[in-house]
Amino acid sequence: MDKKPNILFLGIDSLRSDHTSLYGYKKLTTPHMDKFFSESSVIFEKMYSPSIPTTPGYASMLTGLDCFSTDIVALRHKGGLREDIKTLPEVLVENGYRTVNIGYGNYRGFQENLSYKSSWGSWAQGRSPKAASMNEVAIPKLNELAQGEEPFMLFLRHMDPHSPYLPPEPFDRLFFNGDEFDKNNKSLEPVYAFKPFCDYFYTWFPPFCTSSDYIIAQYDGAIAYMDSCIAILLNELEHLGIADNTIVVATSDHGETLYDHDCYFDHHSLYDNCLVVPLAIKFPKKFKGCARRYKDYAQLKDIMPTLLPMLGIETDIKFDGRNLCDVVSGKAPQEPEFYITEATWMRKHGWRTPEWKLMIALEPDFHFKPEIELYNLIKDPDENHNLAEEEPEVVKFLTERMLAHIAKRESETGRTNPMYTNLDWSGFGRPFASSEEAYNTLHIGDPEAAKKLQEMKK
């Protein structure tokens, strides 16, 4: 009997798809993944993480469920995943798999949760070889798993695109040839003036740096550096002789704001830069020939119900997601409109269709943005012109669609929408009464504080 397929799962943190050359970015940030996924692969061009950031993103990725089913919407989620939910690694273990997670966070069901040498840095500590540190643990483990009798799932949470962006040389200069200390460049002045995050930025921006383009180039350089290290992993699959029987998945929990919408170098807000992530799946035994790209809307909840049938594993789990192999075979209708949420440094929810994006603040946010934002995604794909006051009927229509969906999911799950119940999402203890209160309360001061948030058990 043939051995069941292995899974190498690249669950990358903070990777927005439009900054990867795999998705057409003008800078060559992912050449090795571009080549690897150029054959025997499927790539989904409209892949969404609809509930951000990290905690709800990975919860959906590893359960096939939406935020109503997981009951998780906040980064600082209190308590673990509900006991009645079965995770992807738990199902795999029941079917004879070995399951290993390497990276920040312990996810239920993995037989091993391994960490690697901390590469979270500051400017004073120097450049951060995050992906190389990952490889120091991942490659020996991959060799060990390959020698075993059982099929395996190796889940790797790469952190290079997550701030601090401190890629090693020469990747720090790969996409920037200017003067990051030009005194005539004022682009970082509003960043340094943003009280909630400025102390954090001071710890890892180069002292006296003035250029936002330089910081964005560090993000791009971190992706390119990670890509070069991932290439070593992919080459190891070939060396071990298991590439043809290994499903390789690359995706992310959420995107990144960078300099857009004044939400500097983080991953909060419901703009598409935070919601749109990659999804590429390679499996030579199933997908033949050149890579095929699909424009159907897909979500993180679709990953688990896609992978299990590819492994020949049946389950009675009622997934909220769909099997994307049905998209490949032309059998599955897409889900073009969907609910979106965030509870990171702001608490907002909304509704997205192919044409419109509605965002509603459930409490005042620390960017002093309007309570309601509406964008025409066809005319204004970068979401720069708020039409909420100009198009009240569209706001009303989309709000009704959103509320009907919430009511439906509340009825199906028997629970109140977690966006309404997670009132201590910020750690403040209660909803903010004003933007001023939020601005003067929320704060992240150094890389260690950011690291601790990422290490919380999910």
User: Residue 435: which CATH number?
Assistant: 3.30.1120.10
Question: Is residue 264 domain-shared with residue 361, that is, in the same domain?
Answer: no
Task: Give the CA count within 13 Å in the CB-facing half-sphere of 323.
Answer: 16
Chain mean pLDDT for the chain: 94
Partners of 32 in the β-ladder: none
Give residue 323's pLDDT: 95
Give residue 449's pLDDT: 62
Question: Is residue 269 domain-shared with residue 375, that is, in the same domain?
Answer: no
Asked if the model's pLDDT at residue 439 lies above 50, the reply is yes
**Tokens 């389950």 map to which residue?**
315
Tokens representing residue 362 in the block: 């459930």
Question: Is residue 212 domain-shared with residue 357, that is, in the same domain?
Answer: no
Average the pLDDT over 348-360 and give the result. 98
Strands (E), 103-206: 112-114, 152-156
* Each residue's pLDDT tens digit, 299-349: 999 999 999 999 999 999 999 999 999 988 888 788 889 999 999 999 999
Question: Is residue 256 domain-shared with residue 393, that is, in the same domain?
Answer: no
How many domains does the chain fold into? 2
Average the pLDDT over 121-145 and give the result. 94
Give residue 458's pLDDT: 38
Nearest of 327, 287, 325 to residue 304 by alpha carbon: 325
* Each residue's pLDDT tens digit, 146-174: 999 999 999 999 999 999 999 999 999 99
Question: Is residue 273 domain-shared with residue 416, that is, in the same domain?
Answer: no
Kindly indicate the confidence band of residue 454, based on its pLDDT and cuts at 50, 70 and 90: low
Q: Is the peptide bond before 53 cis (omega within 30 degrees of 0)?
A: yes
Tokens representing residue 29 in the block: 């940030």
Give residue 80's pLDDT: 83
Question: Is residue 313 domain-shared with residue 348, that is, in the same domain?
Answer: no
Kindly indicate the confidence band of residue 457, based on its pLDDT and cuts at 50, 70 and 90: very low
Question: Is residue 70 domain-shared with residue 92, that is, in the same domain?
Answer: yes
Question: Is residue 175 domain-shared with residue 258, that is, in the same domain?
Answer: yes
DSSP assignment of 203-267, as one string? Answer: HHSPTT---HHHHHHHHHHHHHHHHHHHHHHHHHHHHHT-GGGEEEEEEES----TTGGG-TTS-
CATH of the domain at 184: 3.40.720.10
Which range of residues forms the domain containing residue 348? 340-441
Q: At what angle do helices 212-240 and 130-147 cross, to 10 degrees?
A: 20
| Cβ proximity of 242 and 234 under 8 Å | no
Asked if the model's pLDDT at residue 275 lies above 50, the reply is yes
Which of 332, 356, 372 is the C-terminal boundary of a domain? 332
Question: Is residue 250 domain-shared with residue 229, that is, in the same domain?
Answer: yes
Q: Is residue 453 part of a domain?
A: no
Q: What DSSP state is assigned to residue 156?
A: E
Question: Is residue 344 domain-shared with residue 281, that is, in the same domain?
Answer: no
